C-alpha cells in the first residue's frame, strides 16, 4: 500500500510540475511585446535608421546655426544680393534666421500658388528661405565638400542615395510638408 501511495504521489507531482511549466511558458509569451515576436533584426535595423537620421538632423541643425552666427549681420545681405528691390526677401530671410536661431533651420515657410488667385492648390517652399537654407548648408561644417577628409570620400560613404546632401534635402522635405486645414487628400498628395 505504501508503494502505491508513493507512486501516486510521484505521479501527482510530475503532472503538477509539467502543467506549471506549460502555464509558465504561455504567460511568458503573453508578456512579450508584439513587435519583438516578429523579425528582431528588421525592427532593430529600422530603429537604428530612425535614430541615426535624428542624430544627423540634430548635428546638421547645430552646424547650420553655427554658420549663421558666424556670418552675423551679413547673412541677410548675402542671401538677398540678387533679389529684386521690391521683394520681401529681407523680411522672409530674417524670419528664417530667427527660426534657425531657435534650432528650426530645416523648417521653411510655404507659399501658395498661383499667388493672385482665390484657389491656390499648389504650396511650394518660400524661395528666399530655401536659398538661405542652401547657403547655410553650403558654408557649414556639415557640407562634406568643405571637409578635406570627407570631401574625397563623400560619394562613396553611404552610396549616392544616402550622401550628406541627400540627407539635407530629405530633412527639408520632412520638416516642411504640413497638411493645411481644408486641403483634400489629392491636394496634400500633390504638395507632398
Among 93, 72, 69, CA closest to 83: 93
* Opening angle at CA 173, ends 187 and 73, nearest 5: 120
Q: What is the pLDDT of residue 50?
A: 81
Long-range contacts of 118-124 (CB under 8 A, 24+ apart): 121/187, 121/190, 122/190, 122/191, 123/180, 123/191
Both 120 and 144 in one domain: the answer is yes
Q: What is the pLDDT of residue 101?
A: 92
* Opening angle at CA 82, ends 77 and 84, nearest 5: 100
Look over the chain and give the mean of its residue pLDDT values, rounded to a whole number. 76
Q: What is the pLDDT of residues 170-186, one digit of tens each?
A: 888 877 766 666 767 77
112 contacts 123 by C-beta, under 8 angstroms:
yes
**What is the distance between the alpha carbons of residues 101 and 78, in angstroms, rounded to a whole number?**
17
Both 24 and 71 in one domain: the answer is no
Both 107 and 166 in one domain: the answer is yes
Among 98, 117, 118, CA closest to 109: 98
Q: What is the pLDDT of residues 98-129, one digit of tens each?
A: 999 998 899 998 887 887 888 777 778 899 99
Asked whether residue 12 is domain-assigned, the answer is yes
Q: What is the pLDDT of residues 121-175, one digit of tens each?
A: 777 889 999 999 999 999 998 887 776 666 566 656 555 555 777 788 888 887 7
Q: What's the domain range around 2? A: 1-31
Both 76 and 109 in one domain: the answer is yes
Both 179 and 117 in one domain: the answer is yes
Grade residue 18 by pLDDT with cuts at 50, 70 and 90. Answer: low
Sign of CA dihedral 176, 140, 156, 46: negative
Both 86 and 170 in one domain: the answer is yes
Among 73, 82, 63, CA closest to 136: 63
| Domains in the chain, number | 2
Both 19 and 51 in one domain: the answer is no
Q: What is the pLDDT of residue 137?
A: 92
Both 24 and 105 in one domain: the answer is no
**What is the distance between the alpha carbons of residues 161 and 159, in angstroms, rounded to a whole number?**
6
Q: Confirm whether pTM is higher than 0.75.
A: no
Both 46 and 27 in one domain: the answer is no
**What is the distance between the alpha carbons of residues 92 and 113, in angstroms, rounded to a whole number?**
17
Both 12 and 59 in one domain: the answer is no
Asked whether residue 53 is domain-assigned, the answer is yes
Asked whether residue 102 is domain-assigned, the answer is yes
Q: What is the pLDDT of residue 123?
A: 78
Asked whether residue 122 is domain-assigned, the answer is yes
Q: What is the pLDDT of residue 30?
A: 53
Among 170, 173, 171, 168, CA closest to 145: 168
Both 22 and 68 in one domain: the answer is no
Above 80 in pLDDT, residue 2?
Answer: no
Both 68 and 158 in one domain: the answer is yes
**What is the distance between the alpha carbons of residues 186 and 72, in angstroms, rounded to a whole number?**
42
* Opening angle at CA 102, ends 97 and 108, nearest 5: 55
Q: What is the pLDDT of residue 128?
A: 94
Amino acid at each position: 500500500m505504501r508503494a502505491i501511495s508513493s507512486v501516486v504521489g510521484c505521479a501527482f507531482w510530475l503532472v503538477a510540475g509539467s502543467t506549471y511549466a506549460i502555464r509558465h511558458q504561455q504567460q511568458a509569451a503573453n508578456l512579450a511585446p508584439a513587435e519583438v515576436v516578429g523579425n528582431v533584426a528588421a525592427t532593430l535595423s529600422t530603429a537604428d535608421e530612425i535614430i541615426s537620421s535624428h542624430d544627423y538632423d540634430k548635428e546638421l541643425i547645430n552646424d547650420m546655426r553655427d554658420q549663421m552666427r558666424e556670418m552675423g549681420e551679413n547673412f541677410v545681405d548675402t542671401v538677398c544680393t540678387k533679389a529684386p528691390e521690391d521683394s520681401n526677401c529681407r523680411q522672409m530671410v530674417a524670419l528664417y534666421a530667427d527660426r534657425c536661431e531657435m534650432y528650426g533651420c530645416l523648417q521653411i515657410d510655404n507659399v501658395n500658388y498661383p499667388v493672385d488667385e482665390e484657389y491656390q492648390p499648389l504650396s511650394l517652399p518660400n524661395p528666399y528661405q530655401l536659398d538661405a537654407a542652401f547657403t547655410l548648408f553650403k558654408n557649414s561644417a556639415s557640407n562634406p565638400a568643405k571637409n578635406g577628409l570627407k570631401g574625397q570620400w563623400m560619394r562613396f560613404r553611404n552610396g549616392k542615395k544616402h550622401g550628406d546632401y541627400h540627407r539635407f534635402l530629405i530633412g527639408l522635405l520632412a520638416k516642411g510638408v504640413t497638411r493645411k486645414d481644408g486641403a483634400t487628400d489629392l491636394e496634400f498628395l500633390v504638395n507632398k
